[in-house]
Amino acid sequence: MGDYMSWLIAVYDFTTPFSLKSSLATSSGGKTNLLPTMYSFKMALINAAYHIGLDGEKEFNWIKGLDIRFKPPKKATVQNSFVKILKESRKEILKENPSQVFTSSVALREYVIYSDSLHVAIEISKLQDSCVQKLKHLLIHINQLGKRGCFVQFKGVREEMSLNHDFTFFLEDKEIEMPNALMIQYLDDMGEKSKFESINNYDAKSASLGKDRVLKQVGVPYKLIKSSRGYSHYERID
């Protein structure tokens, strides 16, 4: 993969369990992705741009088109938990008690505990040198991936001319070697025609699925080793 490409690879350690609800999950059945998504990582880059004094809307124009792949940690354990949440009250409840805007409920949440580092590869062959330098600076300032509170620690960055087969790949890639066992997950990415106002959390306009956010079939080099009612344990295919 990527014999004639150049990749910038950043390494992060998770200091807390990771969780990022799948785009296909319901609010009460919050199954997590095994990894961050391309969309969420690009949002982290835009957020980092604002933190260091850049115009995130301007940087969005080149960030949205980045090709991003992930090398998952060697082992990952997904823990299943039931948590109390507040959800908007149904119409019949509001009719009886207009002040009860929210109702207590129970929902499924999953949290991933990793054994070691996450590697994030970004293809930089077509980027201008100024953007590559900005990207290196932005990667240092990312300290959170996934849900709020999923903190990471930056460990370093390097350049490589190709990626090993222990990185994620898209099923639409022209030349891929399918391993004997792997996980297929739908991970969201920014579309080619996505607009900044649509991905901006502070704008009234929301991102539309299929245009601003597109789902891609991603091969994740993980194999399910053990599972029970309370957890699922995965190991990376090297």
In the chain, where the domains are located: 7-236
Q: 138-159 pLDDT, tens per residue?
A: 999 999 998 888 999 999 999 9
Q: What is the pTM of this model?
A: 0.87
C-alpha span between 31 and 134 (Å, rounded): 34
The predicted structure's pLDDT at residue 164: 87
Mean pLDDT (the chain, rounded): 88
Give the number of other CB atoms < 10 A from CB of residue 229: 5
The predicted structure's pLDDT at residue 25: 62
Judge whether residue 84 has pLDDT over 90.
no
Q: 26-49 pLDDT, tens per residue?
A: 666 668 999 999 999 999 999 999
The predicted structure's pLDDT at residue 209: 76
Query: Of 34, 19, 15, which Cα lies nearest the Cα of 236?
Result: 34
183-190 β-sheet, strand order: 169-170, 213-220, 183-190
Q: 97-124 pLDDT, tens per residue?
A: 888 888 888 888 899 999 999 999 999 9
Q: Residue 206: CB partners within 8 Å, gap ≥ 6?
A: 198
List for the chain the helix, strand, coil content (%; round to 5). Answer: 20, 40, 45
Judge whether residue 224 has pLDDT over 50.
yes
Give Cα separations from 181 to 70, 71, 109, 235 (angstroms). Answer: 17, 16, 26, 11
CATH number, span 7-236: 3.30.70.2660
Judge whether residue 2 has pLDDT over 50.
no
Longest Cα–Cα distance in the chain: 66
The predicted structure's pLDDT at residue 18: 96
Q: Provide mean pLDDT across the span 211-223.
A: 91
